[in-house]
Structures are given as structure tokens and as C-alpha cells.
Amino acid sequence: MKLDTKAMRHLAAEDWRVLTAVEIGSKNHELVPTPLIESIAKLRGGSSRVHKSISALAKVGLIARLKEAKYDGYRLTYGGLDYLALHTYASRKELYSVGNRIGVGKESDILVVADDSGTQRVLKIHRLGRISFRTVKANRDYLRRRQGGSWMYLSRLAAEKEYAFMRALRDEGFPVPQPIAQSRHTVLMHLVEAFPLRHISVVPDPAALYGELISMILRLARHGLIHGDFNEFNILIKAERMKEEPSSEKGKEVETAEEKGKEVETAEGKLVITPILIDFPQMVSMDHQNAEMYFDRDVNCVKRFFESRFHFVSTQPGPFFKDAKKTVGRDGAKRLDAAVEASGFSKKALKDLEAAIREQQEARGEHADSGEELDDKSEDEDQDQDQDQDENSESNEDDGDRDDGEEEVQRLTNQK
């Protein structure tokens, strides 16, 4: 679905309170009863003011009724969740305006946004269930305990996991975008001026770039991680002309996280080629039961792409999982898989998210190959998802969710 922010400017403080109330009620209800919305929102105008806000929110598609419901109530739509996330960023002064959509992924939308100073940033909106919502309804053990807002719950897990891994990887000097904040099913990050590898037809030195990507896979392994979707869709290439003057020591420290790359001699001078890794919800530990399969898939994705696009075939076999496994934690490398788990992202949440991603890959016929863009059909599928969303009333108190909705109500109450 396309994010349309036009209605945001017309929402009053009472409307935001009602929208947040629906979100809170969704944790325990398939359809949030209207009296419960009134109770949570606690508007001064009473039920009449709540009904006025409900009408306004439903009109712009932020909440919706279910057909043939047994009682009067509303559910939160993905559009409503989008608005709540944007509202949170705006209240923190982290986001001021929303620009164009620059990417449509298998389970996400990518938009350019800006803060109040005009600095451009990137907002990633996770939308699990976009492609295979109808086909993944069966055998969803990971949702049976928490089906209220099921796909929204999983999208939120994806955003939390991605943000946690981005922070951990960035702190260890990996070339990843700098994360800024996370709210609900979204991640806000710095904008990287780079192009997806899939859009690049020629590179000055394919062997050097290939070697750097394989080295990145092995470096991730030393830190206990496998990307799980390491391909031309999730690798950005940043190319910069080398500066004449050497950088200061402080500058060099900053560059290690994102700027450091391979120098290539060209007719115009030295060119620095830096691969930037993105997309982390499917990342797994080297101790995962299917770790070897994921590791081999990442390696083979790089090999296949370089052979087909750049006609480059490495003369060296491997790398192989059994050898990479021996390097985990070597030379004092921090186990980032353990660090992210210790940060509060529970094993249960990891299993829920992994099961959802795996079934979505199977539903779209994704086996050894990965990395496939969506076409225009995704917008229709998004609409189908909002119309047919299957939710139940049982909640899971141990899912570790951060309760943005309750914080939002408290914040609005303080402003009242």
C-alpha cells in the first residue's frame, strides 16, 4: 500500500487518542468494542466525541469494521499503524516530512523522509503478509497465541529485529546504514547515497568486489551471524572519488562503519567502491539448525550473480560453512547473535518471525534463490490484506512488545 499522509494534518488531538485506543484494544480483541475504545480514550466530550473521531478515522481508512461482526467495534488497519508510527517520530522531532517511495520490497516499503532541518532520511515500513497473506493462513503455529493484529505483530517483530541488528553491526564497524530510531513496524535510518548492486552493469574490478563481499560473509560468521538474504537486492554500492587530502584520525574512525572500501584506479583517478549491507529481519545465528543451508545460499547467491552479470568466476572453491564455523568468536570477535538476544529480543520472538518469513518465502516459490522485487500487483495485494485480515482475540503477554500505544496515550494525557 502507498503511504498517504494527507489526512494527518486534519487529525485533532482527540482523533490521535482514539486511534491509539484502538491500537491498545487490538492487543486483546479481534474487533475492539466501541465502549472499550471510549474507556481507553477517556475524551472529555464522552461517547459523542469518541464517535465523531471514529467516523473521521474510518473515513480515511485508519480503522475499519469487520463484515458481519456480532457487535459494534473497529480494528486497526495498516494505514492506521503507519500514522501512529509517523506521529511518534514527529513527537520526538525525528521526522518532519514524508517524501517519495523509493523502493518496494518483498515485505516492506522504503520512503525518503526528512527532519525539521531538511536532512533526508530513510523510513522502512515492514509489511509482512503482503505477498502471501491468503496462502499462509494454514499452519500458523506462531500466531495461534497472538492473532490480534497478527501480521502487524510480526511486522513489528521484523522492525525490532532489524533495528537491533543494525545497531549491533554498526557498533562493530560493519558497513550498514546508521539506524536512528524504531517505532512499531518501522525503522528510521540515515540515507546512504548508493545504488543497489542489481542496477549496476559494470564495475572496475569484479574480482575485488567479489572478494570483499565474500569477506563480509565470513566476517559476519566470525561474529556468529548469517545474513540469510545476501544478494544483489540487499547490497548497495557506494562509489566516491578519492579525496586529495588524507583524512584525520577522527575521520578514519567514522569511515570504518560506512565509508571504507576498495580503491580502484580509473582514467579519472582513484575510485573508492564500498558495499553497504541492508535488510536484516531474516538474519540467523551460526548455531541455527539450518545455518549451513543459509550460509551456502548466501555464498551461492554472490557466485551466481557475479557469473551472470560480470562474467566473473572465482578460481577458489568455497567458502564452506564447516570452515567458517571454526572462526566464530575468533580473535575476540563479539558474538552479535548472543548480544541481540541479550538486548531483549527473545527466542520466542525470533522463532515467530523466522517461521513467518520462511512460510512467506515458500508461498512465493522461493527456494535456493532469494531477492525478488515486487511489481505493481503488490498494491492490490496490500488492499486485499487490509480487507481480509484474520485476527483473533487471544493475546500473548510474554511477547516482549514495547507498548508504544500506552506511552502515546500517556503523552497525550499530559498534553491535555
pLDDT in tens, 58-96: 999 999 998 888 899 999 999 999 999 999 999 999 999
What's the pLDDT at 397?
35
**Quick one: pLDDT at residue 369?**
47
Confidence of residue 264 (pLDDT cuts 50, 70, 90): low
Q: In what order do the strands lie in the sheet with 186-190?
A: 97-104, 108-114, 120-126, 186-190, 179-183
The stretch 103-122 carries a mean pLDDT of 93
- The mean pLDDT of 27-54, rounded to a whole number, is 94
What is residue 63's predicted lDDT score, i.e. its pLDDT? 97
Number of C-beta neighbours around residue 308 at 10 A: 10
With a cut of 80, say whether residue 107 has pLDDT above it: yes
Which residue bears the cell 525539521?
116
Cell readout for 335 is 558474538
Tell whether the model's pLDDT for residue 245 goes beyond 70: no
Other beta carbons within 10 angstroms of residue 322's beta carbon come to 10
Higher pLDDT, 374 or 208: 208
pLDDT at position 253: 39
Task: Provide the pLDDT for residue 372.
Answer: 43
Examine the residue annotation and report whether 229 is marked as an active-site residue of this protein.
yes
Task: Supply the pTM of this predicted model.
Answer: 0.81
DSSP-derived letter for residue 7 is G
Confidence of residue 409 (pLDDT cuts 50, 70, 90): low
pLDDT at residue 313 above 60? yes
Element (H, E) at 155: helix 150-171
Q: What is the average pLDDT score of the chain?
A: 82
Q: Is 134 a residue whose pLDDT tops 60?
A: no
Q: Which of 229, 279, 298, 401 is catalytic?
A: 229
Least confident of 48-57, 102-111, 159-168, 241-250: 241-250
Whether 221 contacts 298, CB under 8 Å: no
The H helix count followed by the E strand count for the chain is 13, 14
Tally of CB atoms within 10 A around 201: 7
The answer, yes or no, to whether residue 290 has pLDDT greater than 60, is yes
